[in-house]
Amino acid sequence: MISMLQHFPKCPMCASTIGYEFTGLLGTRYAKCYSCKAKWKLSIKKGKIKEMTLHELPMDGSAVYTIRIESTTDGIRTNPPVFSVIGIKLDLDFWLNLKLDKKINWDFLSKDVNSEVSEAIFKEVKDNFLR
């Protein structure tokens, strides 16, 4: 898929330039970063990517990094982690402008995330961060 490589010569998550594995059939296309393993479902219209949905979290641990929010209409900055956007169809602009602070919002994780999600996020980690 040339369009993905044109828009994202670097992975939106890990900035790798290794490239993507493309899969899918007949309109449902996926792109998976060779480096961090983040996978997106691509919404394509007239041969161009219009929206992307984070389909699988990156395997490099960046799923808990904070999304940098430059401006908001109400002045509130929640700085959610990357995993909070999984399964949400987002405009291409979101992914083109995505910036990660590479820090973890522990308040968000301890208050706003149910235990099943936190256990899935930290399944590879031996320590109990949120307990």
16-45 residue pLDDT tens:
999 999 998 776 899 999 999 999 999 988
Cα 108 to chain centroid distance, Å, stands at 17
Domain residue ranges of the chain, discontinuous segments joined by +: 2-121
Provide the 10 A C-beta neighbour count for residue 117: 14
Residue 87: the pLDDT is 93
CA Rg, the chain, in Å? 15
- What 3-state class would DSSP assign to 8? coil
pTM of the model: 0.76
39: which strand partners? 32, 56
* Below-70 pLDDT ranges, the chain: 1-2, 27, 70-77, 112-131
